[in-house]
């Protein structure tokens, strides 16, 4: 909202239906002159009168009452025969932040240091480190050069390495084993023998000290203990909370106890709780949990500990984004207070076998630290990467039946698009024989070419989805994505892997974990209650070069403001959150939804029935404060087109829990109530666009079906909001490019722009449903064909579906989305 933005009375009252004004909380019943009852029932912080919500009513000296409802101030005075509206307007000067945007060199191919070092683990002898980077598994002698142990195929994903206690083997997780689900592998270092220890979706492996049992987790985060001699699995106890996997299991030296990080939800009203240390007894399944410090969470539930020292005397963990050690009894009970041993940012701790040193990541560097915090040193990591681009001499001529270039409403016919390397060099009318010597011709004569589609709100869940998530995006025509929250080092790893061409996927803009208060919901929530903790997290954001900075629902205003300042001044990127208010006031650039989970009562954007009032539109008007929309109600539209559920991308590429959910939703046509919900939601978006707002389309996947939901959202905007095909498509092309500051390189099909294209088999400007019929995409000048992305996954999906009944996978999907912020 620029200086001088006009505000009506709703803005002055901080939102009619969303405000929980003190007067409204105190006042329950008032009699108007003549005995008429005002507001018999309170709802969401206001008073209802004849179906309208009022806020902060007040008596006048003459016995009347003035109240605020539906954007108007009304006077019900005893001297008036009818209610009288009191004219009121106000203007609030809220200058928007101005900052220099990040400069990205999309053509650079020079080598640079790898930052995406993912889940490093120190060997028991303290001499080597195993880690994942560039979609490969690496082993590096400390002081030496890393050696690649295993390179994942570009369609798949390798992750979660750990050591056996004797140091002779490494465990890791890989999804390229035939069913497309994560499986635990054991790699023997002596002879390279590789065996699968547990499959069907198993993660976070940890071998018991005697090597006879495997602790791991399934897709739902259930802890499993596998007897390696018999293959029998047991489930000692279910996780406390969902919203992602619990932390990695860690064994006590005697093999009786397992420690991990779990979420202890505090009440039934809110899903948030503390990230607690949980210790389970594998003999009887009992467990105890405790906090590392009073009212303080473990940082997150990825790999922030607790990690048991081999001598059993300590648990290492990350709290307030620093490294701590907690003295414990043999059963994991705290013996004394925890002690912080680093002042720098810390992630992913692991012990040496003598329990004297800890390896951890700090701002993209490997660091070794003594148990007492002394003898800190950096471990050199001589590993470099470079963007893989076609050479400029590699020229491709695409002959398209139709081109919508993103610059207006018009569609051009019979067009050639010439691509040199990774850039578009010409867009010209097709002329037979125009192809020059050495040019490669790509025939799109039955197709429509568009700027590459964007999904502006995603969460990388490769820890359970593996390579499927990235491939699904490409298969549905998505060439650009922006993360709105995920594990920081994993995102750095994915971005580098895609850029280097060793992982299939769209162009990827990163952020880190959700910057939150002391209580969190998601595994990827980063908990904070101190300024030092926030500072460390933001220093890490700068070191890992985030593309966006996001705060979450329990972050107070000072954290939101500091995150926005860091994003702007140190990174040159936007910042945002769920909160329209105070997001706009503390310098953030956007909201990541129209309405989603909030824990500050004055920040509501819509009423419980989905109505958005004048103040909301005023803030978004003109586009200075932007919005990423996530039309969850569009999921109902699956029932209008059941063929979507039979698409090979669903039946062969989606994980079985999502495929089962899509097929169930598609089996039932939307009810009238559901259609009204779609119409009401998209009408808000239509009005924001009409007011000149900046609106980009996202999905919040994998809360919604990956890739597919972007098309459902576009259909909702076209069919229910009445946007033209071009207007709808701009929310997934031009608008995201502008929002993230890459409009000079992306968003349209013009000479000089990057060659990110989506090619549709059909004409979505005649039949908008054709848009989902992606034939192929081009990202950075490289072609990815839908048939290749889906092909080879067919048997995998059949195998995965056969491993459990459809109703079982359906239950898995429902459990994964339980307590989610935004699922319909």
pLDDT(146) > 90: yes
CA distances from 13 to 75, 385, 613 (A): 16, 53, 12
Copy the structure tokens of residue 516.
């939150």
Could you give the 3-state DSSP secondary structure of residue 484?
Answer: coil
pLDDT in tens, 565-597: 999 999 999 999 999 989 999 999 999 999 888
Confidence of residue 48 (pLDDT cuts 50, 70, 90): very low
Whether pLDDT at 758 is above 80? yes
What are the angstrom distances between the C-alpha of 453 and each of 450, 634, 692, 795? 8, 18, 21, 29
Which of 233-247, 508-522, 527-541, 739-753 has the weakest average pLDDT?
A: 233-247
pLDDT at 603 over 80: no
Strands 37-38 and 30-31: antiparallel
Peptide bond into 443 cis (omega under 30): no
Least confident range from 4-8, 303-307, 643-647: namely 4-8
- Are the C-beta atoms of 353 and 744 separated by less than 8 Å? no
614 pLDDT tier (thresholds 50, 70, 90):
confident
Both tokens assigned to 519: 């209580």
Beta strands in 269-420 (DSSP E): 273-281, 287-290, 307-308, 314-319, 322-327, 339-340, 347-351, 357-362, 365-370, 377-379, 384-385, 395-403, 412-420
Q: What share of the chain is helix, strand, coil (3-state, %, to 5)?
A: 20, 30, 50
- What's the CA angle centered on 664, arms 660 and 669, to 5 degrees? 155
| pLDDT digit string, tens, across residues 764-794 | 999 999 999 999 999 999 999 999 999 855 4
pLDDT one-digit tens code per residue, 467-503: 999 999 999 999 999 999 999 999 999 999 999 999 9
Range list of β-strands (E), 92-232: 112-113, 118-122, 128-133, 136-141, 147-151, 158-163, 169-174, 183-188, 194-198, 203-207, 213-217, 223-227
Predicted confidence (pLDDT) at residue 687 exceeds the cutoff of 50: yes
User: 561: pLDDT confidence band, cut at 50, 70 and 90?
Assistant: very high
Q: For tokens 């050591």, name the residue.
A: 163
- 824 falls in which pLDDT band (50, 70, 90)? low
Q: Report the chain's C-alpha Rg in angstroms.
A: 28
pLDDT band at 90 (very low <50, low <70, confident <90, very high): confident
- Token reading at 822: 């935004």
pLDDT at 79: 75
Exposure class string for 308-330: b at 16+ Cβ within 10 A, else e: bbbebbbbbbbbbbbbbbbebee
Counting beta carbons within 10 angstroms of the beta carbon of residue 553, is it exposed (0 to 12), middle (13 to 18) or buried (19 or more)?
Answer: buried
- Rounded-to-10 torsion of CA 215, 218, 221, 222: -60
**Widest CA span of the chain, in angstroms?**
96
Could you tell me which residues come within 8 angstroms of residue 581 by beta carbon, excluding any fewer than 6 positions away? 14, 15, 600, 602, 603, 619
Contacts of 749 (CB under 8 A, 6+ apart): 403, 404, 405, 406, 417, 424, 427, 449, 450, 451, 757
The C-alpha angle 612, 616, 618, rounded to 5 degrees, equals 130
pLDDT band at 800 (very low <50, low <70, confident <90, very high): low
Residue 31 is predicted with a pLDDT of: 39
| C-beta of residue 436 within 8 angstroms of C-beta of residue 395 | yes
What pLDDT shows up at residue 64?
Answer: 83
3-state secondary structure of 625: coil
In this structure, what token pair is assigned to residue 307?
């990690």
Look at 95-99, 566-570, 633-637, 703-707 and tell me which has the smallest mean pLDDT.
Answer: 95-99
Residue located via tokens 């922006």:
482
pLDDT for 62: 79
The pLDDT of residue 93 is above 80? no
For the cut 90, the answer to whether the pLDDT of residue 527 exceeds it is yes
Q: Could you tell me if 644 and 654 are in contact, meaning their C-beta atoms sit under 8 angstroms apart? A: no
Cα 263 to its chain centre, rounded Å, is: 19
CA gap 808, 581 in Å, rounded: 41
- Label residue 18 by pLDDT band (50, 70, 90): very low
Question: How does residue 20 score in pLDDT terms, banded at 50, 70 and 90?
Answer: very low
Query: How far is 666 from 673, CA to CA, in rounded Å?
Result: 17
Q: What is the mean pLDDT of the chain?
A: 89
Pairing of strands 549-550, 575-577: parallel
pTM exceeding the 0.85 threshold for the entire prediction: yes
What's the rounded Cα separation, in Å, for the pair 211 and 260? Answer: 19
Residue 105, pLDDT score = 95
């Amino acid at each position: 909202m620029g200086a001088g933005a006009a505000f009506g009375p709703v803005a002055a009252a901080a939102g009619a239906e969303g405000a929980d004004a003190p007067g409204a909380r105190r006042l329950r019943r008032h009699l108007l002159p003549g005995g008429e009852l005002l507001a018999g029932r309170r709802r969401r912080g206001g008073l209802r009168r004849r179906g309208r919500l009022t806020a902060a009513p007040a008596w006048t000296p003459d016995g009347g009452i003035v109240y605020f409802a539906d954007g108007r101030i009304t006077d019900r005075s005893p001297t008036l025969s009818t209610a009288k509206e009191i004219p009121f307007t106000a203007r609030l000067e809220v200058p928007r932040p101005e900052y220099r945007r990040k400069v990205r060199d999309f053509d650079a191919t020079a080598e640079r240091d790898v930052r995406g070092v993912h889940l490093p683990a120190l060997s028991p002898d303290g001499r080597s480190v195993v880690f994942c980077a560039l979609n490969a598994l690496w082993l590096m002698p400390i002081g030496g050069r890393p050696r690649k142990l295993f390179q994942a195929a570009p369609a798949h994903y390798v992750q979660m390495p750990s050591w056996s206690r004797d140091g002779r083997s490494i465990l890791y997780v890989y999804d390229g084993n035939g069913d497309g689900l994560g499986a635990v592998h054991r790699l023997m270092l002596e002879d390279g023998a590789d065996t699968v220890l547990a499959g069907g979706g198993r993660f976070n492996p940890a071998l018991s000290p005697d090597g006879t049992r495997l602790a791991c987790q399934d897709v739902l985060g259930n802890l499993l203990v596998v007897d390696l001699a018999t293959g029998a699995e047991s489930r000692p106890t279910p996780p406390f909370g969902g919203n992602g996997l619990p932390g990695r299991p860690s064994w006590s030296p005697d093999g009786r106890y397992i420690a991990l990080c779990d979420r202890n939800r505090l009440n039934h009203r809110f899903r948030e709780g503390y990230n607690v240390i949980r210790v389970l007894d594998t003999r009887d399944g009992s467990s105890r949990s405790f906090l590392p410090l009073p009212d303080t969470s473990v940082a997150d539930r990825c790999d922030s500990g607790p990690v048991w020292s081999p001598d059993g005397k300590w648990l290492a963990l990350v709290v307030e984004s620093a490294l701590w050690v907690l003295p414990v009894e043999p059963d994991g009970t705290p013996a004394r207070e925890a002690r912080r041993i680093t002042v720098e940012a810390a992630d992913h701790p692991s012990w040496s076998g003598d329990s004297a040193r800890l390896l951890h990541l700090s701002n993209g560097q490997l660091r070794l630290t003594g148990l007492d915090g002394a003898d800190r040193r950096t471990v050199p990591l001589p590993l470099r990467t470079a963007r893989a681009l076609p050479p400029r001499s590699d020229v491709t001529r695409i002959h398209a039946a139709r081109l919508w270039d993103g610059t207006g409403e018009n569609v051009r016919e019979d067009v050639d698009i010439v691509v040199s390397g990774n850039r578009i060099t010409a867009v010209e009318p097709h002329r037979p024989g125009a192809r020059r010597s050495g040019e490669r011709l790509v025939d799109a004569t039955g197709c429509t070419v568009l700027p590459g589609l964007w999904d502006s709100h995603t969460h990388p869940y490769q820890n359970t989805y593996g390579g499927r998530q990235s491939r699904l995006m490409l298969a549905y025509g998505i060439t650009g994505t922006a993360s709105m929250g995920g594990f920081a080092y994993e995102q750095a790893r994915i971005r580098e892997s895609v850029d280097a061409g060793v992982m299939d996927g769209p162009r990827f803009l990163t952020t880190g974990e959700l910057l939150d208060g002391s209580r969190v919901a998601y595994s990827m929530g980063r908990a904070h209650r101190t300024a030092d903790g926030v500072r460390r997290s933001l220093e890490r954001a700068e070191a890992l070069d985030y593309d966006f900075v996001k705060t979450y629902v329990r972050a107070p205003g000072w954290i939101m403001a500091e995150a926005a300042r860091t994003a702007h001044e140190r990174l040159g990127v936007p910042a945002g959150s769920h909160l329209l208010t105070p997001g706009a006031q503390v310098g953030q650039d956007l909201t990541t939804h129209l309405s989603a989970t909030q824990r500050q009562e004055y920040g509501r954007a819509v009423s419980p029935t989905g109505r958005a009032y004048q103040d909301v539109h005023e803030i978004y008007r003109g586009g200075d404060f932007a919005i990423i929309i996530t039309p969850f109600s569009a999921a109902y539209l699956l029932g209008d087109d059941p063929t979507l559920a039979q698409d090979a991308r669903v039946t062969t590429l989606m994980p079985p829990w999502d495929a089962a959910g899509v097929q169930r939703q598609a089996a039932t046509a939307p009810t009238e109530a559901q259609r009204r919900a779609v119409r009401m939601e998209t009408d808000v978006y239509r009005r924001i666009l009409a007011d000149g707002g900046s609106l980009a389309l996202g999905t919040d996947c994998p809360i919604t079906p990956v890739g597919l939901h972007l098309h459902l959202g576009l259909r909702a905007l076209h069919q229910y909001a009445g946007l033209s095909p071009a207007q709808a498509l701009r929310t997934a092309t031009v608008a995201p490019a502008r929002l993230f500051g890459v409009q000079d390189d992306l968003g349209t099909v013009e000479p000089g722009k990057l060659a990110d294209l989506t090619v549709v088999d059909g004409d979505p400007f005649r039949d908008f449903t054709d848009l989902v019929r992606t034939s192929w995409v081009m990202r950075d000048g490289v072609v990815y064909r839908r048939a290749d992305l889906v092909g080879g996954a067919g048997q995998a999906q059949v195998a995965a579906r056969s491993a459990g009944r459809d109703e079982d996978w359906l239950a898995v999907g429902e459990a994964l989305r339980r307590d989610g912020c935004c699922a319909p």
